[in-house]
Amino acid sequence: MDALLDTSSLSAAIDNDKAVAAFTGLVRRSKMRFLIAREALDEAFAGVSGEKLVQKALRLERLFASLGSAIDVAELGNVICMLEAKGRIASTPLLNIQERKEIARELAVIKAGGSALSVLKKASTRVGEYKAETRDVWKGAIEEGMQKYRAKKWSARELGESLLNFGPEHIDTTVLMGVLTQSMGLPPTECVWVLRRTERYKSLRAYLAMAQVLILGSSVPADLISQHPLLRRLKYHPNHHMDMMIASSAAYADFFVTEDKNLTELCRFLRNRGCLGFRSCSLSALEYHIR
């Protein structure tokens, strides 16, 4: 069994020495493999500097050294989606040996202290690139979706009721066609099968389900969000692009581990409606699942 960590859960796991010990114990008790989303690795270090940065690097290095093959780093979410578009995937794609060596080298540089700032800038730059790339990928789809759904002029009740019945069949592949073909490299004739071939397109399916909610959230006037209990799931934030990309990386894992309550709730909502296969929970809640 696999569990994939996002930025919030990784940061919690290496927050201090006690947290490292607790996480190490969890991994060993669970007998699962824990994967770190590649984007999360950079994002966790991008906003840290000075001694905190050095200590964080030391703790992560300690995890890699003590847990061995029980912990690894997953490929970027968009890379996983593109690999899936090209052919069937059996498990979460991981970084290659060269990329893992680069991570080890950067951690060593941080430990040395002298050039830590350069590594920090690299991480910040990569995070900026990830966010810009995902925003650019979805910009056209979101704008088209906003126009389409705002034209419906739904009331809060109507929109809330549509969410109650939400399922894979409600994902609008016509709006998302450009994303699938231009950014993910999927042949146009294959787009219709993304939602039907559930074992073939796990990551893309998860990605599209979250994208549909993202598009709906972009289309909802602010005054409607508070008028129905389900609509709070649609509150849009630019960081949702990054969250969506990381969460889609968990499509071949058993658990998606995040400390973000809103993201946990969204993933559970989509899982309960047949759009996702993985379970979402926090690190502390994962203890319950492994008992």
Q: Predicted confidence band at 54 (pLDDT cuts at 50, 70, 90)? A: confident
Please give the residue that has the higher pLDDT: either 223 or 15.
15
* Whether residue 118 has pLDDT greater than 80: no
Tell me the pLDDT tens digit for each residue of 167-186: 887 777 776 777 777 777 77
Point out the least confidently predicted range of 26-40, 81-95, 233-247: 233-247
DSSP assignment, residue 200? T
**Strand partners for 281:** 257
Given its phi and psi angles, is residue 185 left (phi above 0), alpha (psi -120 to 50 degrees) or beta? left
**Contact assessment for residue 277 and residue 284, using Cβ atoms and an 8 Å cutoff:** no
Structure tokens at 195: 């939602």
d(CA 92, CA 71) in angstroms, rounded, equals: 13
Spatial CA neighbour of 258 closest among 45, 47, 60, 39: 39
Angle between helices 116-150 and 38-46 (to 10 degrees): 120
* Gyration radius from the chain CA atoms: 19
Residue 228 confidence class, pLDDT cut points 50, 70, 90? low
Q: Which tokens belong to 126?
A: 């990569």
How does residue 254 score in pLDDT terms, banded at 50, 70 and 90? very high
Token reading at 133: 């790339």
Helix (H) / strand (E) element for 279: namely strand 279-281
Q: What pLDDT does residue 19 have? A: 93
Nearest to 242 by CA among 35, 71, 33, 42: 42
Q: What is the CA 101 to chain-centroid distance, rounded?
A: 23
pLDDT band with cut points at 50, 70 and 90 for residue 129: confident
Question: Residues of the chain with pLDDT > 70: what percent?
Answer: 81
Residues in contact with 255: Cβ distance below 8 Å, sequence separation at least 6, in sequence order: 1, 2, 3, 4, 32, 278, 279, 280, 281, 286, 289
| pLDDT score, position 285 | 92
- Residue 49: what residue type? S
Model confidence at 70, pLDDT cuts 50, 70, 90, reads very high
In the predicted structure, residue 58 carries a pLDDT above the cut 90: no
Question: What pLDDT is stored for residue 230 in this prediction?
Answer: 67
At 166 the three-state DSSP class reads coil
Q: Are 282 and 258 in contact (CB under 8 A)?
A: yes
Given pLDDT bands bounded at 50, 70 and 90, which one contains residue 213? confident
Beta bridge partners of 255: 3, 279
Phi, psi dihedrals of residue 275, rounded to the nearest 5°: -95, -25
pLDDT at 141: 72
State whether the Cα torsion 281-258-220-232 is positive or negative: positive
Residue 258 has pLDDT above 80, yes or no: yes
Using pLDDT thresholds of 50, 70 and 90, give the confidence band for residue 218. Answer: low
Is a pLDDT exceeding 80 seen at residue 62? yes
Please give the average per-residue pLDDT across 187-215, as a whole number.
79
- The pTM assigned to this predicted structure is 0.86
